Structure 1
Amino acid sequence: MSSLPPFARLDGDDVSLVLDLRAGAAEPVYFGPTLPMAEDLASLCDVLRRGRHASQPDRPAPRSLLPFAGEGHLCAPSIVIHQHGRPLTPRMPLVAITQRGAGLCLEHRDDALGLSVQIELSIVHGGLVEFGTQLRNQGTHPLGLISLASLTLPLPSWASHMVRYAGRWSGEMQQQRLALHQGAITSASYGGRPGFGGGNWVRIEGDNVSEVHGDALSAHLAWSGDHVLSVEHNADGDATLTMAARLDASEIMLAPGDTFCAPRALVAVSAQGIASLRHAFHAHVLGAVVPEAAASTPRKVHLNSWEALAFDQSFEKLCALAERAAALGVERFVLDDGWFAGRRDDTTSLGDWVADPGIFPGGLDPLIDHVGGAGMDFGLWVEPEMVSPDSALYRAHPDWCLYLPDHPRLTQRNQLVLDLTRPEVSEHLFASLDRLLADHDIAYLKWDHNRDLFPLAGKGHAQVTALYALLDRLRAAHPQVEIETCASGGGRVDLEILERCSRFWASDNNDPIERLQVNAGWFDFLPMRIAGNHVGPSPNPITGRQVAMDFRAKVAMFGHMGVEADPGAMSTQDRQCLAAHIALYKHWRDVLHSGRLWRLTPAAAGVHALLAMHKGRGIALIAQTRQAATYDVPHIRFAGLDDEAHYRVALLPPYCEKARAQLSHARPYAEGVVLSGRALRLAGISLPLQYPETAWLVSVELA
């Protein structure tokens, strides 16, 4: 074994990771807030190491970042490989550790099998720790890779619960807090994308964690394909978090000299509660992930044509819709599905990306010019990865889809998936999209993905990497065009796809009560600036619920605001209410999109309370989704303020009329009252929240 130092540490401004290397493995013994540089690592590792107990190997297996089978590890191995169908059992001790800039590179080798694994650890923007793992075949025979974990993290002793994010279409990112127990809690996706369950996001918590107190860590697998997540809690009381891309058998074959790079995993850790994790991920996304324009320019108010017109499109109807949108203060008009040749419903024409001459006899430019004349820029919906069996593209190239020979070609939403791994397919898609963007003044693409990938045909991993290559090429050719990632809502949202996209569609469900719950999950990791959040019609087409415009508009402000309804179908009062909220959004969007996001207490009994705070200015949304159990809801107490500073607190109009009469002192709330940050944190304010679908906007500004 190569000579190793006994210990290593990785330090950022707010985090330290200490590794004990004395057992020939990288064992994390401390992962938390920054330790003094003069800390005695030997003493720290010694006092944290437990003695051997009964019913253990004589040399207990280390709790390392790379556990492997055959040494008594009580968790799943990080690597599963085979050769000619025969499973192999690698033994991969740590042989070298090197400093690479501000990071560490850990090298493991199995000389007998000719394998090496490198784990690179680095502190990235926002204070997150990034894990990068790669496997290299240095032998003389090909190897089949079944699994390579991006992250195998022995969890700290305080870990008692996990928050995972489950869900379905129109109900994504539902938080489930589970106590860790002996055995494994796992999730996986099988549709070629992360899926609506959001299983590539997770939070680990201590017993008594809150917004600003207690131990917690959050982790994410930056991968747009299938994933596996597991938290194993063994009989020794140790818990291990594992995250990996899910691979099909024989999907990845490594010839001699080949290297497989696992997707990146990112981890944030906090001893000051959940808010610190949220702020770290938000800072990382805006500072190091999304395209620069998405992180720095004002997020324009959208109107999307889908709920207004769906497939019932004509040039005259679209022009009228654009005029009504502009009258509300909308800044971007997005033409959704139904604009291309032959598309009158969802059974045909995907793949034929030319404007339908029956709707646009002069092409798209007359509509784009009309939209521009109304003071808006133009966006367009596309679904490039899919093809309809009833389309010119499929009739010309039926072999371009993912399929298995001699098997039926099963559809979902009447469509098949194009095989992006075929160079001619990706070339055709680039040419089609490049032509659209070169020929027309299009500022924005809504890139949809409405179907799971089946059969994967052994190409799931390659399909994702081909998608990245296509997006990269398109963005290089048209850097000014913003792209939104959508997959029937939130079916494909991760930090790898967001490196190429300026926005994500959180859910197809615009019901504001459901959206508050969906957004609560997304906002744990992703900033409001890039989360599409629209005012939908009433009754809502998915839930059937009728909700007042005041509530719909206030909820939609907390995100990247848009409208997904026909203003012409609204009452005059509703249009005025919506226009007022759009103007309010524009006034406050620098705070909403640049500020730190805090959850306020109480956030129970149907109350959702958020505060965005930026440079001494803040705006809060306080929303009640159901009838309160008591007339007097507990006071709303504020986090994120300076205890010693004083703030002017006021209610922002328009007010919720049904609750306005219940204000104890309407005039001071309207004019503003000055209170200390300490009083707002400890005492809070009283708002009437007994009625369902009541929402208030509260401004908080340094006095």
Structure 2
Amino acid sequence: MNDLAVIAWPDRPAGVELPVPADGPVRLVVSGVPLLAAVGRPLVDVFTSVDQRARSSAGHVRSAIGERLRLRSTSVAGDTVEIVQGDVLTGLEVTSRLRRLGPRAFTGWHTVRNVGARTVVLTAVTGAGLLVGEEHVGGARLSWAESGWLAENRWRIEPLRERVPEVNLPLHGQDGRASWGVTSHGAWSTGDHLPMGVLSADGGAVAFEIESSGPWHWELGESLDGVHVTALGPTGARHGFAVPLAPGREWAGTPVTVAWSSDGHDAAVGALIGARRAHRLVDLGALPVVYNDFMNTLMGDPTAERLHPLVDAAADAGAEVFCVDAGWFAADGDWWHTVGEWREAAGRFPDGLAAVLDRIRTHGMLPGLWVEPEVVGVASPVRDALPEEAFLRRDGSRVVEHDRYHLDLRHPAAVAHLDAVVDRLVADYGIGFLKLDYNIDPGADTALVGHAHAYREWLTGLVARHPGLILENCASGAMRADPALLRVSHLQSTSDQQDFRRYPPIAAAAPMTIPPEQAGNWAYPAPEMTGAETAFAMLAGITGRLYLSGFLHRLRPEQRALVHEAVELHKRWRRSIAESVPSWPLGLPGWSDSAVALRLDGPDGALLAVWSRGHDAEIRVAGQLVQLYPVSAPAWPTEPGLLHLPAGYDARLFLVTPI
């Protein structure tokens, strides 16, 4: 490459280099994994409405501006290296920051500033680019995931050549033009796909994820050097993204985290989980067990009479937080289009909501409430109390989605309104837990991207202003369970799925994108369940962040014993789970698999969770199995290195010890 130098980055992740060619932009080389090509990729590509690609293709590679960038300066502060490059033609200056997040991971983001004399319309800024070496493409595998309401975390692992067909580029003597990509189009950042992928081969594995709470895109394409992977936030072509940068203005691009391992797929995912933990901005504290009255229980229709037995039973089961979910603010069940003011409804609580919350505190639990902060119903009194500019607008009018307007937190009036709501709930009710929901998608545009940044800033300020306040991130379950919001949330709901038989593949695959200690897996036992089904329903909660629900006071004594046992077991293991690294002995779970397994290796030992879903199956295990839950249930048949699963719905949690 005729390099002039390699940028010095003290304590950089092992195997990361930043060479500076004499006649080109700074490049990113991840040499810690033989899978990736030693030539690397340019550190950043920039696209505008005028300057697009230097060579035409369907991908976000080889941008004209990116190829013209030249190094201007570098600096280092702690774990972060800062690289400034410029383009003399457009007057754009790009500041790239790469932060070390452990020995095998970093996150990178790029800020584009117009230091020229004319306005430039920005349409895309890449976050990270990787290159699979041509010699590894044939044996490489790609992991990527679809995800949707009630059917989250549906991962598939397939040959890379399934998505990038071999077309004999050497014969044609030039790079390819085709591109295959995965895109999130709107505000539900994980509503269609997950913003993450893993490339693996005998030469190791590399994982990447996009830190966006709005639209994002990643893509594959082939060049003469190998298959390139590009991860970025919004784009003009796919999201209508366009930001006019007047002289002096700047735009911060979407961060992307990269992690790798020479030990394969699950080890690379483990390195990425370590990076997420290092990148987190909130202290998870004591990891309390939460009871919520919604799932398969009150379903958004709470009253004092209905809540009292739930509060008593939740406390008896060992819950440490009790959250009153949706409906506490509504005079009747038709509240969808009236939300936004967040004041308790007259009639639901004869002695006032405060009396219910006092009952929760009397039992030693922290009280919590459900709020959907970013929306205002079309019939809400708040709709006329805020200026028009405080709402997302298109073509001069407010965006309306499912009888709701959407706040724009770039406007100070919107921020002031939400600050006042939370301050009042904390002052008047002493709440310590907020379930923050998000049940509409207003679609993708540049304004939404700005709002998403502002919403994360609001959450950061909320935690600073109310230390100890626990925030759950929810969006119709997990429709916005992205890395950006996980950084500023204590708990992440993993689904709205109410069928306990369909929850295991969601919960078992959740650690691919959510650290186990933040994965709020619902455990909702019901009186009609058998003992085996009760254990089946509870196991997901034990292995993540136990999120309890259900009519606990109606359970049979033997069911209550299983619930209490699960809560106690989770409390004993939650600290170890919070440091654990996941792996999947049966591979990532398929949606209809008859057997699902998740292993968590933590400082106190290795936990193996296994669900049997209707058919006989078996799982190979390396080690001796000690049954932890349910401790009194019949043991499943074993033989050396093999565990036999029975037919029907049943589950076990084991401690794996060396033979």
Using the size of structure 2 for normalisation, the TM-score is 0.86
Q: How far did residue 423 of structure 1 move? A: 1.9
Equivalent residue for 1:243, pick from 227, 232, 255:
232
Equivalent residue for 2:44, pick from 63, 66, 74:
66
Q: Find the aligned partners of 1:13 and 1:649 in 2 and give their Cα distance.
A: 40
Equivalent residue for 2:59, pick from 61, 76, 81:
76
More displaced 10-residue stretch of structure 1: 367-376 or 389-398 = 389-398
Superposed CA RMSD = 3.3
Q: Which residue of 2 aligns with 1:461?
A: 449
Q: Alpha-carbon deviations, 1:13-54, whole Å to 9, x = none? A: 8621234433423344542169xxxxxxxxx99xx66xxxxx
Note if contact 2:478-2:492 (Cα within 8 Å) is conserved in structure 1.
yes
Q: Percent identity?
A: 22
Q: Alpha-carbon deviations, 1:426-482, whole Å to 9, x = none? A: 21121111111122221110000011024x564112211221232223222212101
Note if contact 1:338-1:345 (Cα within 8 Å) is conserved in structure 2.
no
Flag structure 1 segments of 5+ consecutive residues without an equivalent.
35-43, 50-61, 81-87, 209-213, 639-647, 666-682
Q: Which residue of 1 aligns with 2:608?
A: 620
More displaced 10-residue stretch of structure 1: 466-475 or 424-433 = 466-475
* AA aligned opposite 2:156: Q
Q: SS in structure 2 opposite 1:327?
A: helix
Residue 663 of structure 1 pairs with residue 631 of structure 2: no
Q: SS in structure 1 opposite 2:464?
A: helix
More displaced 10-residue stretch of structure 1: 417-426 or 393-402 = 393-402
Q: Which residue of 1 aligns with 2:274?
A: 283
Q: Which residue of 2 aligns with 1:53?
A: none
Give matches, 1:418-433, under 5 Å.
418-433=407-422
Q: Find the aligned partners of 1:14 and 1:459 in 2 and give their Cα distance.
A: 35
Q: Which residue of 2 aligns with 1:349?
A: 338
Q: Find the aligned partners of 1:267 and 1:20 in 2 and give their Cα distance.
A: 18
Q: Which residue of 1 aligns with 2:374?
A: 385
Q: Which residue of 2 aligns with 1:415?
A: 404
Equivalent residue for 2:544, pick from 543, 550, 559:
559
Q: How far did residue 301 of structure 1 move? A: 3.9
* AA aligned opposite 1:153: L
Q: Find the aligned partners of 1:266 and 1:635 in 2 and give their Cα distance.
A: 33
Residue 253 of structure 1 pairs with residue 244 of structure 2: yes
Q: Which residue of 2 aligns with 1:95?
A: 71
Q: Which residue of 2 aligns with 1:190?
A: 185
Q: Find the aligned partners of 1:329 and 1:226 in 2 and give their Cα distance.
A: 40
Q: Alpha-carbon deviations, 1:219-275, whole Å to 9, x = none? A: 111121111111222466432323223465464221101121112111001111123
Q: Find the aligned partners of 1:222 and 1:173 in 2 and give their Cα distance.
A: 17
Q: Which residue of 1 aligns with 2:507?
A: 519
Q: SS in structure 2 opposite 1:32?
A: coil
Q: Alpha-carbon deviations, 1:38-94, whole Å to 9, x = none? A: xxxxxx99xx66xxxxxxxxxxxx9423357564486734697xxxxxxx8675232
Q: How far did residue 483 of structure 1 move? A: 0.4
Q: Which residue of 2 aligns with 1:366?
A: 355
In structure 2, do the counterparts of structure 1 residues 547 and 336 end up closer, same or farther at CA, with 3 Å as the change threshold? Answer: farther
Equivalent residue for 1:116, pick from 93, 98, 101:
93
Give matches, 1:160-559, under 5 Å.
160-180=140-160, 181-182=164-165, 183-206=178-201, 208=202, 214-234=203-223, 237-246=226-235, 248-249=239-240, 251-292=242-283, 294=284, 296-397=285-386, 399=388, 400-404=390-394, 410-412=400-402, 414-454=403-443, 458-538=446-526, 548-559=533-544
Q: How far did residue 634 of structure 1 move? A: 4.5
Q: Find the aligned partners of 2:552 and 2:53 in 1 and give their Cα distance.
A: 66
Q: SS in structure 1 opposite 2:336?
A: coil
In structure 2, do the counterparts of structure 1 residues 571 and 517 end up closer, same or farther at CA, with 3 Å as the change threshold? Answer: same
Equivalent residue for 2:569, pick from 574, 579, 584:
584
Q: Alpha-carbon deviations, 1:114-163, whole Å to 9, x = none? A: 11222222322463121121111111111111111122333344352321
Q: SS in structure 1 opposite 2:340?
A: coil
Q: Find the aligned partners of 2:13 and 2:508 in 1 and give their Cα distance.
A: 25
Q: Which residue of 2 aligns with 1:17?
A: 16
Q: How far did residue 179 of structure 1 move? A: 2.9
Q: Find the aligned partners of 1:234 and 1:304 in 2 and give their Cα distance.
A: 54
Note if contact 1:380-1:444 (Cα within 8 Å) is conserved in structure 2.
yes
Q: SS in structure 1 opposite 2:68?
A: coil
In structure 2, do the counterparts of structure 1 residues 627 and 688 end up closer, same or farther at CA, with 3 Å as the change threshold? Answer: same
* AA aligned opposite 1:66: V
Q: Find the aligned partners of 1:619 and 1:503 in 2 and give their Cα distance.
A: 21
* AA aligned opposite 1:472: T
Q: Find the aligned partners of 1:656 and 1:246 in 2 and give their Cα distance.
A: 56
Give matches, 1:143-162, under 5 Å.
143-157=120-134, 158-159=136-137, 160-162=140-142
Residue 691 of structure 1 pairs with residue 639 of structure 2: no
Flag structure 2 segments of 5+ consecutive residues without an equivalent.
47-51, 166-177
Q: SS in structure 2 opposite 1:187?
A: strand
Using the size of structure 1 for normalisation, the TM-score is 0.81
Q: Which residue of 2 aligns with 1:674?
A: none
In structure 2, do the counterparts of structure 1 residues 134 and 545 end up closer, same or farther at CA, with 3 Å as the change threshold? Answer: farther
